[in-house]
Structure 1
Amino acid sequence: MTNWQADRPYNELPPPPGADALETRRVLKATIGARTALAQLDQAGRSMPNPAVLINTIPLLEAQASSEIENIVTTTDELFRQVNATDVTGDAATRETLRYRTALRVGSEHVQERGLTVGAAEQICTVIQGHDVGIRSMPGTRTANPATREIIYSPPEGRETLRNKLAEWETFIHADDGMDPLVRMAAAHYQFEAIHPFTDGNGRTGRILNVLMLVESGLLHQPLLYLSRYLIGTKQDYYRLLLDVTTEGRWEEWITYILTGIERTSLATTRQIAAIQELQASFAAQARNASRGGTDAELLAVLFEQPYSRIAVVMDRCGVSRPTATRWLTDLAEAGLIHDVRVGRERLFVNTQFLRLLTHGPWE
């Protein structure tokens, strides 16, 4: 049992235990499958001739799913429509979800330049919230059962206490103690969520930190693994197992749950990448016979970097005039390869096969 009471700030929250306690036989067995699947995903991502196809789309799917966990609901179609728009006109949920995607990019850049730090977490949460975010100072933060309103967890309080806990978190994620990086990520995610350092945005920030830990550890070369879809499908287990670590110290169940998510998500994303490559090859073959621009490599790249393409983007990327860009896209639309739609005053061209694959791909 841990020294914990639901209605009292958990200022005694300890850092995670060491590898000898966390890496049980069951955990190590689960780690093998997760590491193998993650390596396959990393290799699949590195095999893509144009990595922007993944970097521009998969994080947006993660943004939508991660926001949905926090009851911020928008459609994937609406998100893709607003990407690269000169003036985002979507509702508040769409704008907030797009900020999550930006936070992924900002966090990746921070880790590349300065490593994964408390400052990175603050920067990520600031982008998510759309305003400067600092460590919370006001007391009274509580997590309650949504049905009964019974308090189930009270995170630590006091800015100095929270900064000390975050320093422990940062020390733990960079410890040179031989712990498997996937086990460390799972334990660090619990630790960050239990600290709950910000007034809002902790869950979304923590889920971005997960993938950044894997990039920093060298297990991924690109931030392609996002667990939010898995967490949505197992939402009750997610919150139950988080609390079980606090109340009972049940680390093994929590870590194997996360490792299962890593394995399943890695395998599903690898299948997604293979399906995208197959579609690209088929699309290119059909485009050659449908449009005078069908052999232009940059045009084909644009059509698979986002499902919604804009004439101005094709002009810029391909170095052609507006009439030429319009003619190329119109030819493909008349051949049924893309769909011509109007959104307000703007004319968009939708790669419907790609959009369908992204939203209803080979997920479990």
Structure 2
Amino acid sequence: MERGLTGQYVSSVAGGVNCKAFVPAPLPPTPELQLSGKLHSRISQAMLALGRLDAISTLLPDAQLFLYSYVRKEAVMSSQIEGTQSSLSDLMLYEMEGMPGVPMDDVQEVSCYVNALSLGVQRIREGHPITFRLISELHQALMTSGRGINKAPGEFRKNSVWIGGHRADEATFVPPPAIELANCWADLERFINDVPQETDPLIKAALAHVQFETIHPFLDGNGRLGRLLIPLILVSGGVLSQPLLYLSVFFKKHRQTYYDRLQQVRISGDWESWLLFFVDAVANTASQAVDTAQALNQLRQTHRQQLEPLGRLATSAQQVLDVLFEQPIANINTLVKGSNLTPATVGKVMDRLSQPDIALVKELTGQKRNRVFAYSAYIDILNQDQT
């Protein structure tokens, strides 16, 4: 449904150039959303997929192990949208104080995303509402290191910015001037917290994401924080008990459609087309997350059985395998700490698991000392839907 312009253009100056900046109207949309027909059916499909995802998180032997890796996968993909080159393996190497094969700024940015997301979920569980205080805290965590450290962490931008194009008067989009940010955010904050009326959490997450990206309140990190807002709203609204829905893979695959839908909302007020795209992203991503969880669970069972014929080494090998499910890239010290086995025993286990007849792990460094191992099958499952 086309409602026309969903806000107003105001005169502004960005980069020393006169331009027209866009100030969005408060949510919810007017006239109200038309959630019937095709859109109603697709919303129902998305909710069913979310229900299966929430159920699988309670059926996994250890949901936290899955969450650990899945959060890191999301951090990598969300940061890649912004131009970093870090891989999941790079991040895990960095976290165990290994040496990533990419610029340090890249992997630090990804690590900060993990910290910000974890902090956000912690605050939601503590009962904090999604307000400027929380968003500011998350932005600080997101910009603690890497290239964002000099981009005013935790503070709304004080300058006008533009998106696309080499100058503001030829830009694809110019977000609200800095002077409008406080009012824009206050309106969005009220909507997120169901003032004056309640909004279904899935619809709320979809609309709030667009509004946040349109407001573009920070100098940097808006895309990552806007994507992070989606699982936080769903956890806060009780749709998910674990923050296991991350749409960065889908948005990255369909990047141009994603940007087109955002701009279409602003120009024509067609929220329904955005919602169709968004709920398809939710249904697709939730279904893939369920498949990934089931595949990892099956992998664990299969590999534990594969270790049973190892005789006296079998019990130690299974203890090491449990640690690798927590940290799929690990050195001997990490495995010793996690398994409470001796370095000598862990070394024997890893030598055995590296041999061709088992080949559960791959040694990455080619060194005799300070060796680093990858649980390749585990990482391959996580990487399956990233292209």
TM-score in same-fold range (> 0.5): yes
Deviations 1:16-42 (A, max 9, x none): 226971252143222100000011011
Show the counterpart of 1:349.
Answer: 373
One-letter identity of the residue aligned with 1:109: Q
- Is 1:121 aligned with 2:125? no
Show the counterpart of 2:15.
Answer: none
The verdict on how the C-alpha distance between 1:20 and 1:179 changes in structure 2, with shifts beyond 3 A counting, is farther
Deviations 1:163-198 (A, max 9, x none): 222121111112063432111110010111111110
One-letter identity of the residue aligned with 1:350: A
Q: Post-superposition shift, 1:291?
A: 6.6
Show the counterpart of 1:222.
Answer: 242
Deviations 1:69-121 (A, max 9, x none): 11122223322322332777852212212221222112211222223222222
Pairs within 5 Å for 1:188-207: 188-207=208-227
Deviations 1:102-150 (A, max 9, x none): 2211221122222322222222222222245133343331122479982
Q: Post-superposition shift, 1:292?
A: 4.0
Q: Is the 8 A contact 1:307 1:355 kept in 2?
A: yes
Alignment equivalent of 1:269, drawn from 257, 265, 289: 289
The verdict on how the C-alpha distance between 1:108 and 1:229 changes in structure 2, with shifts beyond 3 A counting, is same
Pairs within 5 Å for 1:1-364: 1-2=4-5, 3-5=7-9, 7-11=19-23, 13-17=24-28, 21-25=32-36, 26-85=38-97, 90-91=102-103, 92-113=105-126, 114-130=128-144, 131=149, 133-145=153-165, 150-159=170-179, 161-175=180-194, 177-290=197-310, 292-295=312-315, 298-334=319-355, 335-342=358-365, 346-360=370-384
The verdict on how the C-alpha distance between 1:319 and 1:167 changes in structure 2, with shifts beyond 3 A counting, is same
One-letter identity of the residue aligned with 1:342: T
Deviations 1:239-284 (A, max 9, x none): 1111111111111101111011000111111111111111111110
Deviations 1:315-362 (A, max 9, x none): 22222222222222222223322122327863112111112111125x
Distance 1:227 1:311 in 2: 34
One-letter identity of the residue aligned with 1:66: S
Distance 1:65 1:180 in 2: 27
One-letter identity of the residue aligned with 2:187: E
Distance 2:309 2:26 in 1: 61
One-letter identity of the residue aligned with 1:31: I
Range 119-128 or range 185-194, more displaced:
119-128
Q: Post-superposition shift, 1:220?
A: 1.0
SS at match of 1:22: coil
Range 287-296 or range 188-197, more displaced:
287-296
The TM-score normalised by the length of structure 1 is 0.90
Unaligned runs of 5+ in 1: none
Distance 1:42 1:146 in 2: 44
Q: Post-superposition shift, 1:212?
A: 0.9
Range 309-318 or range 87-96, more displaced:
87-96
Q: Post-superposition shift, 1:237?
A: 1.0
Q: Is the 8 A contact 1:19 1:179 kept in 2?
A: no
The verdict on how the C-alpha distance between 1:184 and 1:317 changes in structure 2, with shifts beyond 3 A counting, is same
The TM-score normalised by the length of structure 2 is 0.85
CA RMSD of aligned residues (A): 2.6
SS at match of 1:141: coil
Range 247-256 or range 285-294, more displaced:
285-294
Q: Is the 8 A contact 2:53 2:290 kept in 1?
A: yes
Distance 2:328 2:169 in 1: 42
The verdict on how the C-alpha distance between 1:192 and 1:293 changes in structure 2, with shifts beyond 3 A counting, is farther
Distance 2:226 2:202 in 1: 15
Q: Give identity over the alignment, percent.
A: 27
The verdict on how the C-alpha distance between 1:244 and 1:324 changes in structure 2, with shifts beyond 3 A counting, is same
Distance 2:181 2:190 in 1: 14
The verdict on how the C-alpha distance between 1:143 and 1:326 changes in structure 2, with shifts beyond 3 A counting, is same
Q: Post-superposition shift, 1:9?
A: 2.5
SS at match of 2:363: strand
Range 339-348 or range 107-116, more displaced:
339-348
Aligned residues: 361
